[in-house]
Structure 1
Amino acid sequence: MRLLDQRLLARARAARRLLVLDSALGVVGAVLVVAQATLIARIVTRAFGGAPVGAVALDLGMLALTFAGRGTVAWGFEVAGRRAAWTVLSKLRLELVKRRLRDQPVGLDGVEAGEISAAAVQGVEGLEAYFGRYLPQVVLAAVVPFVVLAWVATIDVDSALLLLVTLPLVPLFMWLIGRYTSERTRERWLALRLLSTHFLDVVRGLPTLRAFNRSRAQGAVISDVGERYRRAAMGTLRVSFLS
């Protein structure tokens, strides 16, 4: 599985500036985290060494500023990511509708209409995390470890070497979990498409079902299928949260 899907990456060009801003804010946030850790360690060391409050007043003030800065950066990171995702997703939905109307302007059968509805709503909505969070996090994953490693190396070389050895193991295990989760998610997506198609068929055939007094039975079937899908989806989420 490739780290970046070229087709989705091409769609991200519509919100390039917002994504660049989002990534930059993420890097700034990481730098502030390092600054916070350094200041906290310095304050604790001086406090246990018996230093008066006045000796750490400057560090306390700087620590307060870093907390305020992190809050502001986190807010900007969230807003920029969501706006970037909304920009891309709105264009994707518009292109989906235009292409379907151009290729097949006449009416759709139940299966196609159900699949299109699932793709336009749940399918496109599922890409929000990819454009709003995943792409900026890829940049952070490539930059932040080196920033932290360089800072630790200036303090203690042995600790930096230990991090250099152990850090590559983290993405390895995350990749293994992500690969398993991807397979389960693909299965859930297929089940959701079938559920959407079945639900649309039931709605279209509701007059006939009511005429033969079968509407309650179909309602029970949809409820049972939906509950099974919910349990399967929660199982997939439990695995994905391991990462």
Structure 2
Amino acid sequence: MRPLDPRLLRYASAARWFLAGTALVSLVQTFAIIAFAWLLSQAITGAVEGRPLADLAGGIGTLAAVIVLRAVLIWLQELLAQRAAAIVKTQLRSQVLDAVARRGPDWLAGRQSAQVSTVVTTGLDALDNYFSRYLPQLLLTAIATPILVLVMLIQDVPSGITVIVALPLIPVFMILIGLATRGVQKAQWESLQHLSNGFLDLVGGLGTLKIFGRENRQTGRLRAITEDYRQRTMAVLKVSFLSGFVLELAASLSVALVAVGVGLRLVDGSLLLGVGLFVLLLAPEVFLPVRQVGAQFHAAADGLAAAEEVFAILEETSGGDAGRAFDPTSVRTSGRMAGHTAGHTLGRIAADASSFDRATDATLCFDDVTIHRGETPIVHRFTAEFRPGDFSVVTGPSGAGKSTLIAALQGFIDYDGMITLGGALIATDSPRDWLAWSGQRPGLFAGTIAENVTLGETSVNDAALRSALADAGAADLDPATMLAVAGEGLSGGQAQRVSVARAFYRARVRDCAVVVLDEPSSALDAAAETALIRGLQALAAEGRIVIVISHRPALCAEAQQVVRIQVPAHV
């Protein structure tokens, strides 16, 4: 675990100006420390020598100003730290969420969603301590300590040498403590993630557990996980307290060595009182930043651990995106497209599909699309055309890759071949403003039905809202109805219709050319399915491409085009 990870500066621009501002404040703070020690030693020396108060008033006034300056600098440092931490957390969270959205559910399915959630919430919140406590002390140590040691050497060579000999002991102790802390801190972080995952699994499966009467048996499991996290947290606190004691002891003994040497030389008259006081006042300030770095290391460890996981996610997703399927500025063909010449391929690309005009021929074409999961082909050389105004159904056995094809259309997974819209290549990372989609899971949240249907829109078109609900077969649902978490309060069929209405609403408000629904009628009865079919036909009649993934005979019977896809044989 590095004290300052260079990746933090790369991914969070706010960290760079924070470091510059903190370095400047630390430099001014260093000179304020020197001025404070010098002015105080001169004031004490003058009082001992019996100088009148009028002669000392100027120095005392300057000393008071320096004290105020130090207080202002400490306040300014806190202000910089708090603002920088807030901005850095926002930047890192935004990049992680963008990366997760870019990679899509196929990437997220290989990870524990609770772990990702913990990293971007509780984990990154711990960066507050890193910025407000640890990093300022680290910079102050790097800037103030050499300057203060140099001043002590100039004023009193023996005291300076004593400090130079004793000072390295503290970093040695810090390294040893850091090695011990790293293990217990990592164990605590893993325990927290285990607790988050366990709790999420319990909440997600609570309905099933309740049905089978097993909900109480999970109490012991959750208690054991919580107890493990408590013990590991106490282990971290124990190491923190012990390390703080060791650092304080080492620093105190070092200052004591300087004080003994100064005292002996003051007694034999080889050292002036003013110089001795000045050196004694500086000695604790030399060791203070180093001690604080060690003490605050533990407060910052959680944030650093979370930041490392954030960097791992960002580097993994950026590395994965580098080889994504297609980019309009750089066309890559796979070995399975060897039959296409470069001129033919480039001729298919009119423009990036994110900027096409729906008034043109916006035919959606899959051309030799192959999708692998590892070495196994999920979809092999799929070719099909979907025309505007057509209501099409893609059907086939489970495992044939129907939903995988849609994920490729959404830009969530890699593929070989080409997908074009209106003759324009669909770049993997381009916006999908032309696409409205409803998946197998409704994906509802706490709020009104209207808020769920108009998800992502800044304003609500009431007419489009009611039309979307009606075409989805949900005209009987009141848009003002309040739903609980995950859309609780609706039946499975009602939730599915609200999800479909969301796609209908987006298609009309955003004028989307393509509407894709994945198993939209799996939880519907015959009457609701009939109403949905009428809505799909009305949507297609508006000149849109409507694609439905389904096994239902009623949908296949009403479709203008039925595309059947089979499980690929071993290739």
Matching of residue 13 in structure 1 with residue 43 in structure 2: no
Tell me if 1:195 matches 2:195: yes
SS of residue in 1 equivalent to 2:112: helix
Instruction: Report the Cα distance in structure 2 between the residues aligned to 1:67 and 1:106, rounded to whole angstroms.
Output: 59
**Bigger proportion of residues as helix:** 1
Report the Cα offset of residue 122 of structure 1: 2.4
Q: Does 1:78 align with 2:65?
A: no
Tell me the residue number matched to 1:46: 46
Instruction: Report the counterpart of residue 172 of structure 2 in structure 1.
Output: 172
CA shift, 1:177, in A, is 0.8
Q: Is the 8 A contact 2:194 2:225 kept in 1?
A: no
Post-superposition offset of 1:132: 4.8
Amino acid at match of 2:78: E
Contact 1:110 1:201 in 2 (8 A): no
Q: Give aligned pairs, total.
A: 243
Distance 2:94 2:185 in 1: 25
AA in 2 matched with 1:61? G
Per the alignment, residue 59 of structure 1 pairs with: 59
Closer, same or farther in 2 for the Cα pair 1:218/1:108, shift >3 Å? farther
Partners of 1:107 and 1:176 lie apart in 2 by 39
For residue 31 of structure 1, what is the aligned residue in structure 2? 31
Distance in 1 between residues matched to 2:215 and 2:54, nearest whole Å: 76
Deviates more, 1:230-239 or 1:83-92: 230-239
Return the offset for 1:111: 6.4
Gaps of 5+ in 2: 244-293, 295-571
The residue aligned with 1:118 is 118
CA distance, structure 2, for counterparts of residue 132 and residue 153 of structure 1: 31
Instruction: Summarize the Cα distance change of 1:217–1:50 in structure 2 as closer, same or farther, 3 Å threshold.
Output: farther
Higher relative contact order, structure no. (Cα contacts within 8 Å, ≥ 6 residues apart)? 1
The answer to whether the 8 Å contact 1:19/1:80 transfers is no
Taking only aligned residues, the RMSD between alpha carbons, in angstroms, comes to 2.5
The match for 1:163 is 163
Match of 1:228 in 2: 228
Q: Tell me how far apart the structure 1 counterparts of residues 110 and 191 of structure 2 sit (CA, whole Å).
A: 16
Amino acid at match of 1:101: A
CA distance in 1, matches of 2:234, 2:24: 34
Letter of the 2:182 counterpart: S
Is the Cα contact below 8 Å between 1:12 and 1:131 reproduced in 2?
A: no
Q: CA deviation at 1:161?
A: 1.5
- Distance change >3 Å, CA 40–CA 231, structure 1 → 2: farther
| Aligned residue number for residue 94 of structure 1 | 94
CA drift at 1:147: 1.0
1:21 is displaced (CA, Å) by: 0.8
SS in 2 for 1:104: helix
Contact 1:178 1:240 (C-alpha < 8 Å) held by counterparts: no
**Structure 2 counterpart of 1:98, one-letter code:** D
Structure 1 residues 110 and 122: alpha-carbon distance in aligned structure 2, compared to 1, 3 A threshold: farther
TM, length-normalised to structure 1? 0.87
Counterpart-to-counterpart distance in 1, 2:190 and 2:127: 16
Encode CA deviations 1:76-131: one digit per residue, 9 max, x unaligned.
10111121222121111111112112212369669611111111112222334444
Preserved contact between residue 39 and residue 59 of structure 1 (Cα < 8 Å): yes
Q: Could you say which residue in structure 2 is the equivalent of 1:183?
A: 183
Letter paired with 2:158: D
Cα distance in 2 for partners of 1:77, 1:8 equals: 19
Closer/same/farther in 2, CA of residues 45 and 217 from structure 1, 3 Å limit: farther
The separation in 2 between residues aligned to 1:97 and 1:125, in whole angstroms, is: 16
Structure 1, unpaired ranges of 5+: none
Distance change (3 Å), C-alpha of 1:125 and 1:225 = same
Distance 1:110 1:192, change over 3 A: farther
- Following TM superposition, by how much is the alpha carbon of 1:52 offset from its aligned partner in structure 2, in angstroms? 3.1
Question: How far apart in 1 are the matches of 2:167 and 2:42?
Answer: 25
Identity of aligned residues (%): 35
Cα distance in structure 2, aligned partners of 1:223 and 1:29: 49
Query: How far does residue 205 in structure 1 lie from its aligned partner after superposition?
Result: 1.5
Task: State TM-score, norm by structure 2.
Answer: 0.39
Listed one character per residue, the Cα deviations across residues 52-96 of structure 1 (whole Å, up to 9, x for unaligned) are 322322222112111111111111101111212221211111111
Structure with higher Rg: it is 2
Given that 1:111 and 1:197 are in contact with CA atoms closer than 8 Å, whether structure 2 keeps it comes out as no
* Alpha carbons of structure 1 residues 63 and 217: separation in structure 2 relative to 1, 3 Å: farther
CA distance in 2, matches of 1:207, 1:109: 22
CA distance in 1, matches of 2:224, 2:31: 50
Match of 1:142 in 2: 142
Following TM superposition, by how much is the alpha carbon of 1:196 offset from its aligned partner in structure 2, in angstroms? 0.5
Listed one character per residue, the Cα deviations across residues 124-152 of structure 1 (whole Å, up to 9, x for unaligned) are: 22334444544443332222111101221
Deviation at 1:200, TM superposition (A): 0.3
Contact 2:100 2:108 in 1 (8 A): no
Are the counterparts in 1 of residues 114 and 196 from structure 2 also a CA contact under 8 Å? yes
Contact between 1:19 and 1:81, CA under 8 Å: does it hold in 2?
no
CA displacement, residues 159-204 of structure 1 (integer Å, 9 cap, x when unaligned): 1121122212221211211121122111111111111100101111
Q: Which residue of 2 aligns with 1:204?
A: 204
Structure 1 position 236, deviation (Å): 0.9
Contact 2:187 2:232 in 1 (8 A): no
